[in-house]
Every structure is written in structure tokens, then in C-alpha cells.
Amino acid sequence: MSEEILINVTPPETRVALIENGSVQELMIERSRRRGLVGNIYKGLASRVLPGMQAAFIDIGLERAAFLHASDIISSNGDNPGQSIDEQLREGQGIIVQVVKDPLGTKGARLTTNLSIPSRYLVYMPSLKSAGVSQRILNEEERQRLRDLLNRPEGERIAQNGGFIARTAAEGATEEALSSDIEYLSRLWQSVQERIASAQPPSLIHEDLPLALRALRDLIGPQVEKVRIDSRSTWSRLNAFAEQFMPEMAEKIEYYPGERPIFDLYGVEDEIQKALERKVELKSGGHLVIDQTEAMTTIDVNTGAFVGHRNLEETIFKTNLEAAQSICRQLRLRNLGGIIIIDFIDMEDEEHKRQVLRALEKCLSHDHARTHVSEVSSLGLVQMTRKRTRESLGHVLCVPCSCCGGKGSMKSVQTTCYEIFRELLRESRQFEMEQLLVLASQEVIDCLLDEESDHLAELEQFIGKPIKLQAEPLYSQEQFDIVPV
């Protein structure tokens, strides 16, 4: 698998696209006015402690208080004894926390006291008592080699009161590269401790790298052929970062000077627009329908125009196999997280069900986010979860519709007309007036004067008062006002 990383930089926004075999697989967007908070370490202040929820709200200097659950509080000796929240924290107490989830919708940031600071190959964790190795490294010999390197000699390789975890990128890394990372993380943790000692809550102690550098640290690997950046200043920063922390990758970093925007060149802009749509077309003629709600994301698979060549079961099987691959790409592309329910087309053959589920799991193995897939439920639904740390692409780029308020539908013109009739009748009985003025959108006024004119005349005769109509160009189809005159 060949990969390329594209980085588009403008003063208000940085965008990163991961291209696999010529297809856009992941998109990350960070805006200068609204940078992500995941990885940031704060000295916070407990503003509310709620034993009934076993949680606390922590003031870390943001607009909304952040959320800390009792299970995310690690004691000084590095474990979680399962104590009640009011036994571990009191209101007004200062506490060192790290953001693990950005604020999402109306929810504040999610916090933990189990701090972790990543580098290229390692993650330093003050609460860790021994070295660890990423579960994605499957080769047992390599896992043992990394453990030996991190534990030998123990006094030099394990920082005081903490330990290191080898990341997936550490597979095959030399002893010198790991030693360099250990030294860097030890120095960084020392500076963090010094800021913790002097800072007053609420205050920011440590901020994670900006998106361009974070992408270089987390995404680049042996399979990445090129990293292309369209900003010369960012290219210089990435080069300096690579020469210090990953010299073997420095030659892969290129400055893109072309006049044509780099995202246009690779078709990324078109993919962004498609990723905001509800419907996803499949090559076979089938399609997916993706609906994102606050509680979960649902994905419905349909055969659409695909009629197959053999029989119905074979048609369904092929559509579901193609859908499994497309779903994995859409989850990464749209950065969908939390609970995800997939409604594959019903299959009778148990072997077909197993193959579709295996295809889904195989595709998800390339995902950088942690995922878990359950078995097919009794209703034929596949339930899965995907770790959510940052807002989805739709939430970053879009806001709820000003007309429908994010519902995705509006009351029909006829519905609004009948609501107006009921309100006219109500107001005529409540107030003394000579006539009533109806303010509504042009579409509603046209309907009242045309299709509903007979009903309007009957109502006018029934209440015994004239009704005047006035179109308001700024009103939506649902809005109206009745003004007694």
C-alpha cells in the first residue's frame, strides 16, 4: 500500500489529507481560532463535585467546564482504587488533567488525570510502572526486543516515577532512535513539572503540537512515499522537526510550489463535498445512507440500481461486501465516532454473513482510531464503536440549518396554513380587534390566496372580521405571525 500525505496551509486553517493508493482516506482540519484540545495538559480547578454522577466539572479556562469521571482519576501510586469521587476530589481543589476528547456539541471536554505525552516512537506516562508495547505490533520477537530496549538498563531508560509505551511506529526502530525519544520526553516532562509547580489554576501547562507537525509525528511511516506541503514556512518547520526526530523521513518531505491548489490536484476538494452528503454511491449501483445523530451514527445499505447477474442472494452478498469497504473509508473520511449501527441488506447464507463481517474487520484494521465490532444482532444489525476524540468532519465544517434547525425537514406549506387558521380562530376569541393581519413567507401567502382561499373565506365569515395577508421575504416556510389591528 502506497501512501501520500498532503498538507494545505492558509492563515486561518490547516488541512491534512491521507491518500492511500490514490484515494483520500482521512481528512483532518484545524482552524487557528478553534484549535483542537486533545493532548493539552491543564492545571484545573474543581468547580462542582457530583457524587450522584461520580464525576466532577473542572474549570480549565474554557467557555464550558470540562468533565472528569471518577474512573479517570489515577492516584499518586498509578492505580485507580475505585474510590468515590468525593473521596478523591473536593470543590475548589486544584488538579492536573489532560484532555482526551474535544468539546462535542453541547458537551464540554472530557478529561483524565492519567497523563501521557507522545513522541515519534514512544509515549511517556508518569503513572506507568513498567514498559509497554502497542498491541498493533504483532510480532512477538519484535515486542520482546522493544521491551528489552525500554528496560535495559532500567535506571537510564525508565524516567523517574513513570514509564514508556512503544508506539506502532517503533516497530523496527533502532536503539539510537528510541534513546533519542526517551531523552526528548524526559526533558519535556521535566519542563512540564516545572510549569505545574509555578502555575495558578486554571491555566494551560502543555499544548500538543499544531496539526501539521502532529500529522508528521503520527501518520508518517515506511509506507508513506511523500509528504507535500504548499506553504514554504510550514515546510521549513516540518523539515527542522524531521531532522531532529525522524531524519530517515526528511527526504520524503517536499514543498509544492504549483499554481494549482494541491487539494484540487488530488481531487480532495471534491471528496470533502461528497463527505458532507447523506448519500454515498457505490460503484455497483448500490448506495449508503449515513445519518449522524447525537447518540449514534446509523448507516443503511441499499442495492439501489444494482440488479446483479445470478440471483438475489448473490446480488445482496456482493453489495454488502462493497458496502463494507466503503463504510470503513467513510468512517475515516468523515471522522465518525461513538456508537455506529450498520444495517446491511439481510442475508440468508451464514457464510455470507461471516465473510461480510470479516471484510469489515479487515478494512477497519487500517484505521488509526481504535474500533470494536460486535457480532450481527438478532435484527441483522452490526453494532460497532469507533474511538471519538475530535469532532466529525460535518461538525467542523457545518452548522445546523437556520430554517429547519438541523432536523433535516420542514413543515409543509399546507401544515403552516392550517396552523395559521387555528391561530386566527384563537386570537379572534381572545382579543377585541377590527381586523387581523397575517405575516408569513411568500409560499404560504400564495397558498392561502390560491389552494386554501375557500377555507380562508369561510374562516373570515365565521369570525366576522376581515383578514389581511402580507408576505415577509425573510420568513421561513414555518414562520408566521398574527397581528391584531
* CATH numbers and ranges of domains, the chain: 1-35+210-275 (3.30.420.60), 41-114 (2.40.50.140), 277-397 (3.40.630), 413-484 (3.40.1260.20)
Residues in the chain, overall count: 485
Count CB neighbours of 16 within 10 A: 22
Neighbours of 20 (CB within 10 A): 17
What integer pLDDT is reported at residue 374 of this predicted model?
84
Dihedral (Cα; 381, 385, 388, 392), 10-degree rounding: -20
Nearest residue to 38 (alpha-carbon basis) of 104, 85, 100: 100
Residue 315's pLDDT is 84
8 Å CB contact between 8 and 256: no
DSSP designation for 206: E
The pLDDT, as a whole number, for residue 193 is 92
Compute the distance between CA of residue 242 and CA of residue 245 in angstroms, rounded to an integer: 5
3-state SS of 310-331 is CCHHHHHHHHHHHHHHHHHHHH
What is the reported pTM? 0.82
pLDDT in tens, the chain (485 residues): 688 999 999 989 999 999 998 899 999 999 988 888 999 999 999 999 999 999 999 999 988 999 999 999 987 665 666 678 888 899 999 999 999 999 887 788 999 999 999 998 899 998 887 788 998 888 999 999 998 888 865 444 444 568 899 998 888 888 888 888 888 888 899 899 999 999 998 999 999 999 999 998 888 877 889 999 999 999 999 999 888 888 888 899 999 998 899 999 999 999 999 999 999 999 888 899 999 988 899 999 988 766 656 678 888 899 999 999 999 999 999 999 999 999 999 888 889 989 999 999 999 988 888 899 987 787 889 999 999 888 899 988 988 888 777 778 889 999 999 999 999 999 888 888 888 999 999 999 999 999 999 999 999 999 898 999 999 999 999 999 999 88
For residues 9 and 231, the answer to whether their CB atoms sit within 8 Å is: yes
